[in-house]
Structure 1
Amino acid sequence: MSKTFFVKTVMTMSLLFSGIVMAEQKETLGDWDVHYSAFNSTSLSPAIATQYDLTRSASKGVINIAVLDKKTQKAQTPEVTGQVVNPLGQIQELDFQQVTEGDASYYLAQFEHSNAETLRFTIQVGEHQFKFNQEFWLND
């Protein structure tokens, strides 16, 4: 059953963000598996962007985070916060919205970026933290 839930969660996220190539990015934090992806908002269809109150713009990105129990793979709902820092040291706080659909739960936030800009993300999930860097380009 836990494998079914995980597959359902991944399928839901894939359908929501169809057209986006998402390589699995995962951090294990304590008893949680944290799956995440960051991408340009223009990859979203207009309908999906509207449904989740996200702005499609060449200079806006989206980060998507799902937190699963490491053993059961059931969705968890810890507090998720974070920030993004650009190469100039400018900080953007991430304003995550929690989305729950059936058994699936995930967090979405938007951020600004420039062309060919590598951003540093710091994500806090409950008491745990992870960091990653990712480069973004302006897309139409």
Structure 2
Amino acid sequence: MKRILTAIAAAAMLLWAASAAAQEAKVIKSHQDFGDYRVVYSVFNSEFIKPEVAQRYNLVRAEDRVFVNVSVVMKEGGKKGLSSEMSGTATNLIQQSRPLEFIEVSEGDAVYYLAPLRFDHEETLTFNVDVKLPDGNTEQISFRRKLDKD
């Protein structure tokens, strides 16, 4: 009986540890801090852009396209994006690299940068972006995302 209880307790501990690891693995980092600045980044399907915004900035909306979105804000209380400069690449798992060409989007007093990108079904890309901060320093962010048309 003691062995059965020990086995049950061990199994429960393993399930708890696996659950905790799975919860931690779901956290996807979406920003990086550099001094007083925070660089916030994301990748989203181009169809999330409103048609009127796409038309204003000549952005193509399609199932096989995403936008890499990067903005720079003040780390403390920064809600609006600041003017910066961006350049970068997207590299797939077999090391094929494509340039990211960012355009500046201004809405009200917020500024952010979008780089359109076409992708294949279920493609995993590593994004390397050089960001020139408002203080003149250049920093690099790097992140990986799995893109899917579904």
Higher deviation after alignment, 95-104 or 69-78: 69-78
1:1-140, aligned counterparts within 5 Å? 25-71=30-76, 73=78, 75-126=81-132, 127-139=138-150
Deviation of 1:72 (Å) = 5.1
The AA in structure 2 aligned to 1:102 is G
Q: Name the CA distance, whole Å, in 2 between partners of 1:93 and 1:30.
A: 27
Q: Name the CA distance, whole Å, in 2 between partners of 1:122 and 1:106.
A: 17
Deviation of 1:78 (Å) = 2.1
Higher RCO by CA contacts (8 Å cutoff, separation 6 or greater): 1
The AA in structure 2 aligned to 1:129 is Q
TM-score (normalised: structure 1): 0.74
Deviation of 1:64 (Å) = 1.3
> For the Cα contact (< 8 Å) 1:95–1:109, is it kept in 2?
yes
Gaps of 5+ in 2: 1-27, 133-137
Cα RMSD after superposing both structures? 1.9
Can you list the C-alpha shifts for 1:57-86, whole angstroms capped at 9, x where unaligned?
A: 222110111101223525322211111011
Gaps of 5+ in 1: 1-22
Q: Name the CA distance, whole Å, in 1 between partners of 2:47 and 2:76.
A: 35
Identity value in percent: 33
Report which of the two structures shows the higher radius of gyration computed on alpha carbons: 2
TM-score (normalised: structure 2): 0.69
Q: Hey, what does 1:5 align to over in structure 2?
A: none
Q: Name the CA distance, whole Å, in 2 between partners of 1:137 and 1:100.
A: 28
Q: How many residues align?
A: 117
The AA in structure 1 aligned to 2:66 is G
Q: Relative to structure 1, is the Cα distance of residues 72 and 44 closer, same or farther in structure 2, using a 3 angstrom cutoff?
A: closer
